[in-house]
Amino acid sequence: MNVLVLGAGQLARMMSLAGAPLNISISAYDVNTDSLVHPLTQQNLGTGLANAIAAADIITAEFEHIPLAILEQCQKSGKFFPGETAIKAGGDRRLEKQLLDSANVGSAAYHIVNSEADFNQAISKLGLPLVFKSALAGYDGKGQWRLKQAEDTAALWQKISAFLAADPQQSIVAEQFIPFQREVSLIGVRRANGDIKVYPLTENHHVNGVLSVSLAVAGNEQLQQQACQMFTALANKLDYVGVLSIEFFDLNGKLLVNEIAPRVHNSGHWTQQGADICQFEQHLRAVCNLPLGSTALIRPSLMVNILGEDAVPESILTIPGLHLHWYGKSKRPGRKMGHINLSAPNNAELKARFTQLINLLPEAIFPELQQMVNRIS
């Protein structure tokens, strides 16, 4: 089975590693260079989307910010999962909000801002504080502004109007600020026949808007059910095929969707060691129309992102239950270079191993890990 992945980053790479044992071969299409590469070896496999589509049995994507012409071309092939509508909803906050509304899934109250009148209406309708998010191409906290107090309104409008003027395709979604206690995410998978499986909720900690740690331990059953219901509503609404990821705000036990990602997700990397079948294999199974595997937590696990560094102390490899995953990328400040998965037979042992890990990692490069230790009960 040949699967073409739009995007040639670490998610395609990890799909390739997960697919090989199933005799599923991955080729990755770099939308910027119009070239096809093997995601593991970077071997050039040709150029041109039309050729790539013709050679593929199945097409999928590792990111959602894909030019519309490419999405349309893939959609026409009839081989594209989760398909154009889902990818677009993940890449455009306006469509995402429409989808959430139509599936009756709760998220922050919002208002679309394309003009100064819209901007003022957002403030009067939703009140302060507000978060303004770019509709397109925003990720890892980029393209976001907060408005906490009325006196900053004029200055912020200057920024936002400049931003909108720079790109006629852009738009802003103003959202009521949610005073959430924590951010959690749910990774789930749906097959064309309607089968759905979801992993346990993961608690996420961000530093400067970028995911730092994801923690997967046996959690609150009520919260898990809430998340699963919202997942099911969205996945069914989209007739979704593949892995779908949902980030939630946890507001005193009530979940509100922050955003969705129509793909495997950084907060699901722990599934490589903590779950029976990892998110990468589940996604491939779903898009290749194979039976889904178990999503059960097999042991409490967490993941730590490695950002901007191409080395970690070798000594961490001695920690039981630790797996190091490099992405084979060249070093660049802030770049996602790899991650560390850590698992243990129980929460107490996970806490002990995490503490051992924190003591071996340089704090300047891995900040704020300590506060996540206390989240393991």
Alpha-carbon dihedral of residues 32, 264, 142, 259, nearest 10 degrees?
Answer: 130
Give me the least distance between CB of 346 and its own copies, in Å please.
12
Give me the least distance between CB of 308 and its own copies, in Å please.
16
Structure tokens at 32: 């910027």
DSSP E strands in 128-169: the ranges are: 130-134, 144-147
Give me the least distance between CB of 27 and its own copies, in Å please.
10
| 192 contacts its own copies (rule: CB under 8 A) | no
Applying CB under 8 A, among 97, 205, 325, 336 the residue interacting with its own copies is 325
| 1 contacts its own copies (rule: CB under 8 A) | no
Inter-residue contact 249 to 268 (CB < 8 Å):
no
| 277 contacts its own copies (rule: CB under 8 A) | yes
User: Helix, strand, coil: what percent of the chain each, to 5?
Assistant: 35, 30, 35
| 193 contacts its own copies (rule: CB under 8 A) | no
Q: Binding segment for its own copies among 14-22, 119-127, 157-165, 360-368 (CB under 8 A)?
A: 14-22
| 106 contacts its own copies (rule: CB under 8 A) | no
Return the residue matching tokens 């890892």: 140
Closest CA to 200 of 341, 296, 57, 298: 296
- Listed in sequence order, the residues at least 6 apart from 195 whose beta carbon sits closer than 8 Å to its beta carbon are 291, 292
Question: Residue 31 class from Cβ within 10 Å (0-12 exposed, 13-18 middle, 19+ buried)?
Answer: middle
Q: Binding segment for its own copies among 12-20, 186-194, 253-261, 368-376 (CB under 8 A)?
A: 12-20
Structure tokens at 303: 């993941």
Q: How far is CA 288 from the centre of its chain?
A: 21
Q: Which is nearer to its own copies, 68 or 324 (CB)?
A: 324
Inter-residue contact 277 to 264 (CB < 8 Å):
no
| 285 contacts its own copies (rule: CB under 8 A) | yes
Give the C-alpha distances (Å, rounded to integers) separating 269 from 22, 204, 281, 323.
Answer: 19, 12, 12, 11
| 348 contacts its own copies (rule: CB under 8 A) | no
Q: Which is nearer to its own copies, 192 or 324 (CB)?
A: 324
| 318 contacts its own copies (rule: CB under 8 A) | yes
Give me the least distance between CB of 126 and its own copies, in Å please.
44
Q: Which is nearer to its own copies, 25 or 224 (CB)?
A: 25
| 3 contacts its own copies (rule: CB under 8 A) | no
Q: Which is nearer to its own copies, 196 or 322 (CB)?
A: 322
Stretch 61-90 residues interacting with its own copies (CB under 8 A):
none
Applying CB under 8 A, among 155, 296, 348, 365 the residue interacting with its own copies is 296
Applying CB under 8 A, among 322, 350, 369, 372 the residue interacting with its own copies is 322
Q: Binding segment for its own copies among 81-89, 146-154, 227-235, 320-328 (CB under 8 A)?
A: 320-328
| 352 contacts its own copies (rule: CB under 8 A) | no
Counting Cα atoms < 13 Å in the Cβ hemisphere of 126 gives 25
| 328 contacts its own copies (rule: CB under 8 A) | yes
Q: What's the CA gap between 218 and 38, in Å, rounded?
A: 37
| 293 contacts its own copies (rule: CB under 8 A) | yes
3-state secondary structure of 134: strand
Q: How many binding residues for its own copies (CB under 8 A)?
A: 37
Q: Binding segment for its own copies among 34-42, 173-181, 204-212, 230-238 (CB under 8 A)?
A: 34-42
| 46 contacts its own copies (rule: CB under 8 A) | no
Structure tokens at 297: 């937590």
Q: What's the CA gap between 144 and 173, in Å, rounded?
A: 10
Inter-residue contact 13 to 327 (CB < 8 Å):
yes
Region class of 111: left (phi > 0), else alpha (psi between -120 and 50), else beta = beta
Interface contacts to its own copies, rule CB under 8 A:
13, 17, 20-23, 25, 38, 40-41, 43, 276-277, 285, 290-294, 296, 298-299, 314-315, 317-318, 320-326, 328, 338, 343, 345
